[in-house]
Structure 1
Amino acid sequence: MTILLLRVPPPSPTIVFSYSSSPRSTTRSLNLTRRVRCRVSNSTEVEGASKSEYKPGVLDDFFMRSFRNKLVEEVGSDSDKPGYVGLIELVKLLLLKSRTRSETNDAAVRILKSLFPPLILELYKLLIAPLAQGKIAALMVARVTVLTCQWLMGPCKVNTIELPNGESWESGVFVEKCQYLEESKCVGVCINTCKLPTQTFFKDYMGVPLLMEPDFKDYSCQFKFGVAPPEDDGSVNEPCFETCSIASRRKLNSGECPMS
């Protein structure tokens, strides 16, 4: 999930969540209310995947703390685990609390918006996004993503992408092995709390089209700033991993979940 400008360990132990009794209203801004049966696939599991290594920078603790605080505000409770493991527990709780994909997307977009002063987003969309047919804004956010989000995604770099019109821009970000997906071991977490809301956030609130292409076989991910997502995006219907704790919990409870 891109954050300012916006690891898979051995099988995770069972996680315990505490729920808040205070309800929170959600704003439905996406027309995505379909519920899908959980499916389990062996073919999408990465065997022997190892954690990507990233040496934290000076500001990484601040970024993680800010993101975690916003997650706590949204779900109404905190995890008793520290660091990245606790962060992923909160993300899973966000997905478990939502009844539909739309609710999860709306909540994740609210979290992204809350990390920015509103005026900055408005000015960027108004003044920067229109320049050079969107190229300048796309190049800028790609570089800021690499500078500020490796603590969340792992090692990544700016690369060149092809646009539908044949042009080539250095507005891509290639994530070698996304630790967000590694740690969660959940396709639904990737699609519904990262890919879809991040694409929505950049398009609607920064004026920058974005297509994210996660690879569920090697955990890599290609960001394409300046490229709009296709209407029929096959990645959102990928079955979840066999080891996904959310899929198993949902199957036991209701058989349905806002998964991919």
Structure 2
Amino acid sequence: MDIHTTLARTVVKKARHVSWHQDVEVERAASCNYDDDKHMTAYDYPKTWRIQETFLDLRITIIKLGLIGSSLVEMAELRCSRFRIHSTPKPIPSSHLGHSKRLRVRMAQENNDLNVPTVSSSGLTEYRDSWLDLAFIDGCRKAFGRVAGWQSSKGWDEGYLGMVEVSHALMRGRSAAEQQAAVLQGFPRVPEWFRKLFPYSDWGAELNAHITPLFFQWLVGPCEVAEVQIGDKTLKSEVQIKKCRYLETSGCTGMCVNLCKVPTQYFFTSELGMPLYMEPNFEDLSCRMVFGQSPPPLAKDPVALQGCLSSCPSSSKSIPCPKLK
């Protein structure tokens, strides 16, 4: 028993002793009767003592909780001491490693099996990601990896390149519709009452536009908010992505449309009740995100006829891009 436990138990005993003496004094005070206004009446004495007793009981309760917590800690330490390893620990099997480390063990074999293109940073825009950016990238990379059943061997500092490699793996063996559905699995589920509680508003469209540059530059690169004409209204709800980082790094039309544009449009428009139209420019790699504007059906969207980019690692010059089918 440590000194803190002994001291706490002593305080409890003393508190109980004081409480008993206060009860005696209360009974004595109750028999008193002072008529002078300067003195306390027989009613006031018990009331005063009752207030003090209430605080005393509260202190006793707190001390008791401290004793219980101390006892639990002692029990936990005793139990843990029984399982302490005093010898040199054995190497951890690869099957017991974390998700990313376990996948790296069999990386070379899986690279050959899936024939996933290796993504290089050569010739790409250089980005200096903060630790927070890298954390977001790593989370997205792992989410894609769980769906694809594969993970890149790229390290933490090359997380974005690894995320794009995982995106290539996600597309393998899936049609365009299956790729879009696979990405939507990683989006959060939105309850139906959300759209009723937060219906569409022009203010909401502008708010979403202002939030995007704050939280998603790690994904798409530098962007800014601009005014846009939607019907007869002028709203500041357009996000202009100067040069999409995802499109530049992937160099793939199908990846842009199936893994980014279509799933994002569907999530905002159908799940959140916030119409969103994304218009990528495959010439200069820029993109427009217009909150408050409903997207057309994919068959009528100009991107449906877009051909492959020249930088696509698995491209053919066919029009439209075969990965859009």
Q: TM-score, normalised by structure 1?
A: 0.70
Contact 1:203/1:209 (8 A) holds in 2: yes
Q: Distance in 2 between matches of 1:61 and 1:124?
A: 31
1:25-174 equivalences in 2 (<5 Å): 51-57=124-130, 59-82=132-155, 83-98=159-174, 100-113=175-188, 118=189, 124-128=194-198, 130=199, 133-163=200-230, 165-174=231-240
Q: Distance in 2 between matches of 1:91 and 1:17?
A: 16
Q: Distance in 2 between matches of 1:240 and 1:199?
A: 21
Confirm whether residue 207 of structure 1 aligns to residue 273 of structure 2.
yes
Confirm whether residue 238 of structure 1 aligns to residue 277 of structure 2.
no
Q: TM-score, normalised by structure 2?
A: 0.57
Q: Distance in 2 between matches of 1:212 and 1:136?
A: 19
Counterparts in 2 of 1:245 and 1:50: CA distance versus 1, 3 Å: closer
Q: Amino acid of the residue matched to residue 270 of structure 2?
A: D
Partner secondary structure for residue 222 of structure 1:
strand
Q: Amino acid of the residue matched to residue 62 of structure 1?
A: A
Partner of 1:187: 253
Unaligned runs of 5+ in 2: 1-109, 115-121
Counterparts in 2 of 1:140 and 1:54: CA distance versus 1, 3 Å: farther
Q: Amino acid of the residue matched to residue 154 of structure 1?
A: G
Counterparts in 2 of 1:205 and 1:218: CA distance versus 1, 3 Å: same
Q: Amino acid of the residue matched to residue 155 of structure 1?
A: P
Q: Amino acid of the residue matched to residue 183 of structure 2?
A: A
Match of 1:224 among 284, 290, 300: 290
Partner secondary structure for residue 245 of structure 1:
coil
Partner secondary structure for residue 238 of structure 2:
strand
Deviations 1:163-183 (CA, angstroms, capped at 9, x unpaired): 1x2211111111000010111
Contact 2:143/2:186 (8 A) holds in 1: yes
Partner secondary structure for residue 247 of structure 1:
coil
Larger Rg: 2
Give the percent of matched residue pairs that are identical in Structure 1 and Structure 2: 33
Counterparts in 2 of 1:51 and 1:242: CA distance versus 1, 3 Å: closer
- How many residues were matched structurally? 202
Structure whose residues are more often strand by fraction: 1
Contact 1:52/1:178 (8 A) holds in 2: no
Contact 1:53/1:155 (8 A) holds in 2: no
| Cα drift, residue 66 of structure 1 | 1.4
Contact 2:150/2:169 (8 A) holds in 1: no
Higher relative contact order (CA 8 A, sep 6+): 1
| Cα drift, residue 75 of structure 1 | 0.5
| Cα drift, residue 126 of structure 1 | 3.0
Counterparts in 2 of 1:202 and 1:124: CA distance versus 1, 3 Å: same
Deviations 1:179-208 (CA, angstroms, capped at 9, x unpaired): 101110111111111111110111121111
Counterparts in 2 of 1:180 and 1:64: CA distance versus 1, 3 Å: same
Q: Distance in 2 between matches of 1:160 and 1:176?
A: 15
| Cα drift, residue 122 of structure 1 | 5.2
Partner of 2:119: none
Q: Distance in 2 between matches of 1:167 and 1:244?
A: 39
Q: Amino acid of the residue matched to residue 195 of structure 1?
A: K
Q: Root-mean-square deviation (CA), in Å? A: 2.6
Q: Amino acid of the residue matched to residue 140 of structure 2?
A: F
Q: Distance in 2 between matches of 1:244 and 1:89?
A: 13
Structure whose residues are more often helix by fraction: 2
Counterparts in 2 of 1:221 and 1:79: CA distance versus 1, 3 Å: same
Unaligned runs of 5+ in 1: 1-14, 20-48
Q: Distance in 1 between matches of 2:112 and 2:196?
A: 41
Partner secondary structure for residue 324 of structure 2:
coil
Deviations 1:132-172 (CA, angstroms, capped at 9, x unpaired): x5212212222221111101111011111111x22111111
Q: Amino acid of the residue matched to residue 159 of structure 1?
A: A
